[in-house]
Structure 1
Amino acid sequence: MPDRLPLFPLGSVLFPGLTMPLHVFEERYRQLISELLEPAEDAGEARRFGVVGIELGHEVGATAAHQLSDVGCMAEVRSVRRHDDGRYDLVVEGGSRFRVEEIDDPDDEHPYLRAATTLIPDELGDGAEEQAERVGRLFRVYCQRLTGIGLPTKPPADFPADPLPLSYAVSAALVLDQRDKQALLEADHAAARLELASTLMRRENRVLNALPTLPAGQLLRREINLN
């Protein structure tokens, strides 16, 4: 039976095992976070909500149901800071992926979106190990291309080698538009995600190779996501 989950729509994609900073300022989402942080019998469950991508326009009331991606990622609260004016700064970590089955309209009790969701199991898929080796090579080239245009970058020392966590880590690390990121999140299994990441990296490597050297910058810096 689908679980009902509060939703936090974003113009960004959260991946399992990866962290994301959030700044919560809108009143209805302040209420969501406040309710999540209230003591409960199962504190773990109480500190989880769903991050789901906004595919079209801005998330406004009930019309948001027609603008959200079908697949999202569970967000588990790792740290929280409440400001005096009621805003929150959070760091969340991606948990399981889920599929949105049915979205409830906001009401007076729950002014934020909620949805019936089902968890999506993670599978390796055929050829995941071979795909992981290919992705590792392409990602090293990708980092070299970024360095070549004046953005010094190298693979993190703790980058995972196992196909499943690697598929998510590379997906999160690549500088791509939201549509590409969402496609990576929705891939059927690790092998398919790694294959898609390889295709995207080959494209990005060609583009980066054609660019002139840029002034020093922070293309890969982590931005704080706003609700």
Structure 2
Amino acid sequence: MHSDNEPYTSAMFPLSAVVFPSTALPMRIFEPRYQQLMSDLLTGDDELQFAISPIVRGREVGGGDERLEVATMCRLAQVMVQPTGEYTFLALGQRRVRVIEWLDDDPYPQAVVIDATESDALPAMADIAHEINRVEKVLIQLGAEVPDHLPLVDGEERLAAFRLAGMVPISDLDRQAILLSNDPSDRLRRFSQALDDLEAVLKFREP
């Protein structure tokens, strides 16, 4: 992490999904330019980090997409190279970064980024507990596995919305709005509103 909060250059991976800090996403790399990114990271970057930039409009393959101005710095884990040359791995979300300038794709996207600032305002634990209870009910409705406990403890309130949003199928627009927010309390409010919408959809589907 760049503790002095100075801009730095990072490899970027535009993706149609949002990866939040403290969450993980399984990935498979087959496009040649991103295979080159993986090779460069594995041979030259001790931190094994790159940033995933959510795509606002366009497609992942071929370029020409519009990207969100906030991305998530991720660390590689469980990297495997397939006989076809494809890479599979887990992208572990570390922190939010703000894109200052996109650089030329050479051969893969790169950008000048800076670690995103965070408000000191934290959501109340009672509000977090309320949203946890709602998420558990939604998971039951979806027939999904409900964890014995959600990994939210004192001192990590700023991550609450990220972790909860990573557990339920809210919309990409809602995910992007949560990632954009610098305020942990605002993020939880945005998540709560997104969960309202999801609950309404599930209620509509009830027989």
Q: For the superposition of Structure 1 and Structure 2, which TM-score range results when normalised by the shorter chain? A: 0.7 to 0.9
2:152 is aligned with what amino acid? P
| Aligned match for 2:111, one of 109, 112, 115 | 115
The residue that corresponds to 2:30 in the other structure is 25
Q: Do structure 1's residue 205 and structure 2's residue 206 form an aligned pair?
A: no
The residue that corresponds to 2:71 in the other structure is 72
1:63 is aligned with what amino acid? G
> Structure 1 residues 181, 156: CA separation in 2 closer, same or farther (over 3 Å shift)?
farther
The residue that corresponds to 2:92 in the other structure is 93
Gaps of 5+ in 1: 214-227
Is the contact between residue 132 and residue 161 of structure 1 (CA under 8 Å) also seen in structure 2?
no
| Aligned match for 1:13, one of 18, 21, 27 | 18
Deviates more, 1:7-16 or 1:79-88: 79-88
| Superposed CA offset, 1:124-160 (max 9, x none) | 51544343133123223323433xxxx2442452432
Q: Secondary structure at the match of 2:152?
A: coil
| Aligned match for 1:138, one of 134, 140, 146 | 134
> Structure 1 residues 126, 95: CA separation in 2 closer, same or farther (over 3 Å shift)?
closer
Gaps of 5+ in 2: 1-5
Instruction: List, as ranges, runs of 4+ consecutive aligned residues in structure 1 with deviation greater than 6 Å.
Output: none
TM-score, normalising length: structure 2 = 0.87
Deviates more, 1:24-33 or 1:130-139: 130-139
Distance of 1:17 and 1:59 partners within structure 2 = 23
| Greater relative contact order, per chain length (Cα 8 Å cut-off, separation 6+) | 1
Q: Quote the offset at 1:62 in angstroms.
A: 6.2
The residue that corresponds to 1:224 in the other structure is none
Distance of 1:187 and 1:156 partners within structure 2 = 29
Is the contact between residue 13 and residue 182 of structure 1 (CA under 8 Å) also seen in structure 2?
yes
Q: Secondary structure at the match of 1:170?
A: helix
| Superposed CA offset, 1:83-119 (max 9, x none) | 233210111200110011100122xxx2111000010
> Structure 1 residues 205, 59: CA separation in 2 closer, same or farther (over 3 Å shift)?
closer
The residue that corresponds to 2:185 in the other structure is 191
The residue that corresponds to 1:105 in the other structure is 104
Mapping for residues 143-158 of structure 1, pairs under 5 Å: 143-146=139-142, 151-158=143-150
Q: Do structure 1's residue 178 and structure 2's residue 200 form an aligned pair?
A: no
Distance of 2:201 and 2:57 partners within structure 1 = 26
| Aligned match for 2:152, one of 143, 160, 169 | 160
Distance of 2:33 and 2:85 partners within structure 1 = 11
> Structure 1 residues 63, 75: CA separation in 2 closer, same or farther (over 3 Å shift)?
same
Report % sequence identity. 25
Is the contact between residue 71 and residue 97 of structure 1 (CA under 8 Å) also seen in structure 2?
yes
